[in-house]
Structure 1
Amino acid sequence: MIDVATLVEQAREGRPRAVARLITLVENAAPQLREAMAALAPYTGQAYTVGLTGSPGVGKSTSTSALVSAYRRLGKRVGVLAVDPSSPFSGGALLGDRVRMQDHATDPEVFIRSMATRGHLGGLSWAAPQALRVLDAAGCEVILVETVGVGQSEVEIAAQADTAVVLLAPGMGDGIQAAKAGILEIGDVFVVNKADRDGADATARELNHMLGLGEAREPGDWRPPIVKTVAARGEGVDEVVEALEKHRAWLEEHGELAARRRRRAAQEIEAIALAELRARIGDLSGDRHLAGLAERVVTGHLDPYGAADELVAGLTTN
């Protein structure tokens, strides 16, 4: 029997095992999940969430590890949510990111969790919002969310982070990729990693040009900075942290931080409600009413939209 109250108390004390068990409840959609989220709610809303996205091979894991080191030097407690591809056998995360962050494995002020996408598109696990709440309530001051690395479909990170960092690297065609819809629009901070390679300056120039061609900005609007790094050597990482802190200050000054978090909460509520409705519809798969509606559609006595309206009306009145 899981004692949720004890788990929450231990997580608040920063015990890694309790935090890990709570996130497992989230991933498994355990029956105790509602109780856990209710108990954690009063302690959330303090963490600053940074999302890191970009094409595979740009150095997301290395950059994340370097950012952890930089924030630890500032005395911050850091949480890392590394979303990995799912194992085709167990459905679990492949743990590649965790392997590359072993430098922080023994630091009690750093919590690293790999999560499987489990087939969820958009670069994040479906359980990520609730997992972020767990890390927030556990006292993490900064949470770094590293996406799975599937390219331009990762725009979902913009909805889950206070600040979205887009990583690019020279020689990977990223300059051209940045011109396409999605990635360019979500970036609050752009990082050209592996800047010791040929073409880094050209990538930064091209990116700056593309940003200049973007939407017209009013005076006082945030213009995403471009920072060059060599994350493997820790070069330029402090400048990335500086850019992140400037963006956070801008968000707070303009009321955008609270607005982003309200939008995030609204999307989370909507997702939970839709999942509940899907579950209830799934329970009707063998229901006579649904079968009757299907028969009426097949025989032409009812159109699919009308049938769906009747089905929804039945779900919402029960």
Structure 2
Amino acid sequence: MQDVPELVAQAREGRPRAVARLISLVEGASPRLREVMAALAPFAGNAYVIGLTGPPGAGKSTSTSALISAYRRAGRRVAVLAVDPSSPFSGGALLGDRVRMSEHASDPGVYIRSMATRGHLGGLARAAPQAIRVLDAAGCDVIVVETVGVGQSEVEIAAQADTSVVLLAPGMGDSIQAAKAGILEIGDVYVVNKADRDGADATARELNHMLALGESRGPGDWRPPIVKTVASRGEGIDEVVQALEKHRAWMEEHGVLTARRTRRAAHEVETLAVTALRARIADLHGDRRLDALAERIVAGDLDPYAAADELVAGVTGGR
């Protein structure tokens, strides 16, 4: 196994095997992960992270492929993180993603990686934040995170992306599903794909109406645009890119981009801390200290909250 500094150096040069190995260390929660993240830290923070979400059948993978083409024409290095709910062993629907993006497979300026959620709710793999950091440090200009279409849990993408794109299609009852799922609250750009189908204009109008009903924006606030596309033919994709660039410029002007990234980092730190604490507590199962606290609760000498405080103080050394 190569040492971490060498892997990071090779990833910085754009070597896909080194990037793949680093992401594998992330997915496998390798003991070397701390070293990897420390080595990557000085190089991260430059990529523009786009979250692409929406119900199944809306054309997310086809739209992602079209976005790759548009950004490559502009000379940008692009990475795609396709997060799927299927088994990490069987591959599941990942094959479909790979087939639809196969035209980019030989392009050295494009890196595509599939990740399984492994049961993690929210549409994103638990390892996704660290995988995004690997791709960022590897010099990718744009990272597209394409999430599974799982309805209400899709809103987690808003916590991981700089800009969230919600993809809908006519004739699927998407607007109703979107309202139920809460996606109307997370989108920065809305795309009505398959706009050559009947009902595309009606879907766009209804979406616009629902956004207007729910908005509480003041002067100067960002109003999410609605763009119609036919991703399979590349139609409307340039307009989507323009909307994304406008949103990025607006965020930079108003300090929103830095605030979102800071909030994202804080959430990641909190998640790692809670995971570490949970692991320490799990190690106490069968430990006499935990049994003693439980016995005092049963005897009425201690309440559960006080017991929990004692337990946390015990595993953290009282800090």
TM-score of the two chains, using structure 2 as the length reference: 0.96
Show the counterpart of 1:65: 65
Moved more, 307-316 or 294-303: 294-303
Aligned residues: 317
CA shift, 1:296, in A, is 2.4
Paired residues of 1:49 and 1:163 also in contact (CA < 8 A): yes
CA shift, 1:317, in A, is 1.0
Unaligned runs of 5+ in 2: none
2:94 is the counterpart of 1:95: yes
The code of the aligned residue for 2:126 comes to W
* 1:43-97 deviation per Cα after TM superposition (whole angstroms, max 9, x unaligned): 0110000000001111111100110011001110000000011318x37665232
* 1:122-151 deviation per Cα after TM superposition (whole angstroms, max 9, x unaligned): 000010000000000000000000001101
The code of the aligned residue for 1:221 comes to D
The code of the aligned residue for 2:22 comes to L
CA shift, 1:214, in A, is 1.6
CA shift, 1:293, in A, is 1.5
TM-score of the two chains, using structure 1 as the length reference: 0.96
Show the counterpart of 2:218: 218
CA shift, 1:42, in A, is 0.3
Spell out the pairing of 1:107-256 with structure 2 (5 A cutoff): 107-180=107-180, 182-256=182-256
Give me the whole-angstrom Cα distance separating, in 1, the residues matched to 2:28 and 2:181.
34
Give me the whole-angstrom Cα distance separating, in 2, the residues matched to 1:210 and 1:6.
51
CA shift, 1:307, in A, is 1.5
Paired residues of 1:71 and 1:78 also in contact (CA < 8 A): yes
**Root-mean-square deviation over aligned CA pairs:** 1.4
Instruction: Give the secondary structure class of the aligned counterpart of 2:180.
Output: coil
Unaligned runs of 5+ in 1: none
Show the counterpart of 1:43: 43
Instruction: Give the secondary structure class of the aligned counterpart of 2:214.
Output: coil
Give me the whole-angstrom Cα distance separating, in 2, the residues matched to 1:43 and 1:79.
16
The code of the aligned residue for 1:225 comes to P
Show the counterpart of 2:83: 83
Distance 1:120 1:68, change over 3 A: same
Instruction: Give the secondary structure class of the aligned counterpart of 1:124.
Output: coil
Give me the whole-angstrom Cα distance separating, in 2, the residues matched to 1:31 and 1:216.
46
Give me the whole-angstrom Cα distance separating, in 1, the residues matched to 2:91 and 2:24.
11
Instruction: Give the secondary structure class of the aligned counterpart of 1:253.
Output: helix
Paired residues of 1:40 and 1:137 also in contact (CA < 8 A): yes
Show the counterpart of 2:315: 315
Paired residues of 1:194 and 1:229 also in contact (CA < 8 A): yes
Query: Runs of 4+ in structure 1 displaced over 4 angstroms?
Result: 91-94
Instruction: Give the secondary structure class of the aligned counterpart of 1:31.
Output: coil
Show the counterpart of 1:3: 3
CA shift, 1:153, in A, is 1.4
